[in-house]
Every structure is written in C-alpha cells, then in structure tokens.
Amino acid sequence: MYKRFSAVMFPIVTLLLIGAVVWGYQENQEKTAILLKAENQYQRAFHDLTFHVDKLHDQIGQTLAVHSSSQGMQRKGLVNVWRLTSEAQNEINQLPLTLLPFSETEDFLSRISSFSYRAAVRDMTKEPLTDDEVKTLKTLYANSATISKDLEQVRTKVLSNNLRWMDVEVAMATENEQSNNTIIDGFKTVDKKVNEYPEINWGPSVSSIYTKRSVRMLQGPPASQEEMKKKALELMKPHSVTNVRVKKNGNSQEHETYTVSADHKHGDGGIMIDFTKQGQAMSYMDTRTVKGSRVSIETAESKAEKYLEKHGYDDFEAVRYHDHQNIASFTFVPEKQDVYLYPQQIQVRVALDNGDITGIQATDYLYGSEEVKSVSLKPKLTEAEALKRLNKDINIEDSNLAVIKNELSKPVLCYEFVGKQGNQKYRVYINANTGEEESIETLK
C-alpha cells in the first residue's frame, strides 16, 4: 500500500516542486526587471540633471553677455534659464532624495526659476534689468558653476565605479551606512556648499514668495489661553462638544500659535481651531464623518455667509465654490468700496448632510490686510476702456473691480470680467491702471 501511495504522490510532488521552481524563477526575473527599470530611470534622471545644471550655467553666462539694449535676447536668455531650472527641478524629484538633505539646492534652483521667470514676463522695454538684477545674475553664474562642477565629480565617480542608485535607497534606509555611500556624500557636499553661499538679493517680487508669515506681522496684545478657549467655544456648538483643551504649538515667538481642540459628545471625530497668539482664528476643522448630501448648494452658501456675519466677518461675497465628498467649499472675499479684495479671502466648508460648518481657512484674511493697504482702490481707466483690452469673442456676463496678486506676487487693482467664449466660461483680470491683462481663470 505504501508503494502504491508513493507511486501516486511522487509525480504530484515532483510537479509541485517543478512548478514552485518555475514560479520562483519567474518572480525573480520580474523583480530583477523592475529593479533594472528603476535603476535605469534613476541613472537617466541623474545624468540629465548634471547636463541641465551645466547648460544652466552656460545660459546664465550667455544672458550676461548680451548687450543691455537687446531686451529681446535678454528675455530669450531668461526664458531658457527658467526652462533649464524647471528641468533640473523635475529631475531632482525623480531621484530617491526624499530622506537626503538636498533642500538647500532645491530651494536655490526654485529661486533662480522664480527670478528668471518674473524678469522675463515683464515688458523689458519699459522695465529693463536693473543693476541689482545684473549683479544677481553674475552671482548666480558663479554659484551655478560650482554646483555644476560638484555634480560632474559625482557623475564621474558613478561612471568609473559603476555605482548604483538602488544602493542609495538601501543606504538611506540603513542610517549607519549613509556615510559610506559615494552618491549620498556627493549630494551632501553640494547642498552644504549651497547653504554657505552669501545672501543673494533676489528682489522684492521673488523674496515675497519665500517670506515666511510671522505672528509679528499681526497687531494686538497677546491673548490668554482662557480667552482662546472662550472664542473657540463661540465658533463651535458648545452643547455638542466635550473635553476642550488648549495646546501651544512650538517655542518660536515668530510663529507662536495655539490649538484649541474638543471631542464630539457622540464620539465621531472632533474639532480643532488654530489661533494666533493674539487670539485670532486662523483655521477651523471638524473631522466628523459627513453622511450623505441633502442640503442644496444655495442653502449651504447662505449658511456659510450667515456664519461669517455672526462671527464678525462683515461685507463678504462668495466668489467661487466646489463640492467634494458631501462637502461644499466656498471662497469668500471682503468687499470695500465696491472692490473685491482677493488677497484677504476666506474659505468656508459646509457639510451637505445637515448644513453645519466643518472648516474655515482664514490665514490669507489675517495676513492679507497689510498687502492690500498699499493699493489705491481708484482706477485710472474706465470700465469701457478696460473692456477694449478683452478678446472680442468673449461675451461678458458680469464685471466688478478687484484687487488680486499678479504673477509677480504684487497686489494690483483690476477689472474682473466674467464671460463665455463658446461653451467655456472665464474670469479675466485687466489692470485698472495700465490696461494689461494680469490673469485669466477657467471657471467650471
């Protein structure tokens, strides 16, 4: 009987063993193919990065070599600088550098991109490069040469020693081995040198993008934690929450904020409200589950508007909305002298199951007040004059004055025109003082 059982089982076990070997071989082949493909993508991105940084250095030099009266060639050179910097940034994003300190170099490239783009998009016949901007380009030319040289040294080692980028991922995952990886050491060296560069004058339009908002920008005496707790309960529904607590965020006086949190009595999520140290509400978030959609958009907008009025946000107009996962999000802007102030916008989220407010984002409102103070709300052009600057194929449905931030992050007074071209609706902003088209937005 044992012989008969063995005779039956032996071929079955043999087939299973052969099948397991074949399956294991195929799995190994597939894994090897995936690893090889990833390695090839990393190598391509790295060599492209080295090439584009080198070309970036050359292009900055060529832009500097152009005569100051050749604004067309200067603009072309700056556009190419912006394009090459964007290519380099894209290639950095394709490399496994998320755990590697390469942020200084990424930030440096980002600022070059912003600087070159903002210089190129303006009318250089009216606003040619200033002496300070030329000086900045010369500094960038010297700095990009150093980065290019260091990356080339890493590339030479990669090629001569057949180094693999897959080993970089392993080294970053194993902290003790990071110091032994040539590629990681090379990128650390580049980033360290960039961090040691002297401060560069990027100009106000670029610097404003990277200026971190500080509570010192806001006026008013500091509020006590008890005052913040009281304000938070006014924004919530006090009867529906429990376990209210206040927490200070960080120790930096520049960015001192507080979070007041509470739990829902019914146990579904909670509410968190962030305050500045002066007791001004920055954001409100209710994490409860929104079940279904029974409230209309019109009703939700009305509830959001009444909520803002109740808590002291007067004269706000809803300018856009979208709904997602049973929540309607509205953007409100304050209206002053019949002018919409977009830099001071507030976002309000409304649950479509019962109309409760589930979120507010008021950071722009708090920090934007200083930005709009510098803008005169009296236009130099009439609406009729601004209309002449529009595409004649756009059928205008609505218009008003608005302060927006242009591509240089500068607040400007514009005529806001809403209209259709064919079946598509657009919002177009024409500068109310110069007649230039500042921005265009597609409306859904």
Tens digit of each residue's pLDDT (9 = 90 or more) over 245-277? 999 886 655 567 889 999 998 878 899 999 988
**Measured in Å, how far apart are the chain's first and last C-alpha atoms?**
78
How many Cβ atoms sit within 10 Å of the Cβ of residue 174?
11
Which pLDDT band, with edges at 50, 70 and 90, does 211 fall under?
low
Model confidence pLDDT, tens digit, residues 342-352 = 999 999 999 99
Contact 329, 344 (CB under 8 A): no
Question: Using CA atoms, how far apart are residues 283 and 276, in angstroms rounded to an integer?
Answer: 10
pLDDT at 10: 59
Average pLDDT, the chain: 82
- Average pLDDT (352-374) is 88
User: Residue 175 has which token pair?
Assistant: 């902290």
pLDDT at 99 over 90: no
pLDDT at 98 over 90: no
The domain 383-443 is classified under which CATH number: 3.40.50, 2.60.290, 3.10.450, 1.10.3470? 3.10.450
- Most confident residue range from 37-46, 199-208, 346-355: 346-355
Provide the β-strand partners of residue 188: none
Which pLDDT band, with edges at 50, 70 and 90, does 177 fall under?
very low
By percentage, how much of the chain surpasses pLDDT 70? 80
pLDDT at 178 over 50: no
The residue ranges of every structural domain in the chain are 12-210, 225-373, 383-443
Q: How far is CA 106 from CA 33, 86, 90, 181, 222, in A?
A: 31, 11, 10, 21, 36
Model confidence pLDDT, tens digit, residues 433-444 = 999 999 898 887
- Average pLDDT (283-289) is 91
pLDDT at 123: 80
**289 phi and psi angles, rounded to 5 deg:** -75, 130
Provide the β-strand partners of residue 400: 416
User: Residue 251 has which token pair?
Assistant: 């120790």
Higher pLDDT: 126 or 38? It is 126
pLDDT at 297: 93
pLDDT at 112: 87
- Average pLDDT (299-311) is 94
Burial call 88-103: b when 16+ CB within 10 Å, e when fewer: bbebbeebbbeebebe
Model confidence pLDDT, tens digit, residues 376-426 = 999 999 999 999 999 888 999 999 999 998 877 789 999 999 999 988 999
Model confidence pLDDT, tens digit, residues 159-168 = 777 777 767 6
Task: Kindly give, in sequence order, each residue whose CB lies less than 8 Å from that of residue 337, ignoring residues fewer than 6 positions away.
Answer: 377
Task: Kindly give, in sequence order, each residue whose CB lies less than 8 Å from that of residue 156, ignoring residues fewer than 6 positions away.
Answer: none
Residue with tokens 């990681």: 184
Lowest mean pLDDT among 41-50, 70-79, 251-260, 431-440: 251-260
pLDDT at 238 over 90: no
Contact 418, 427 (CB under 8 A): yes
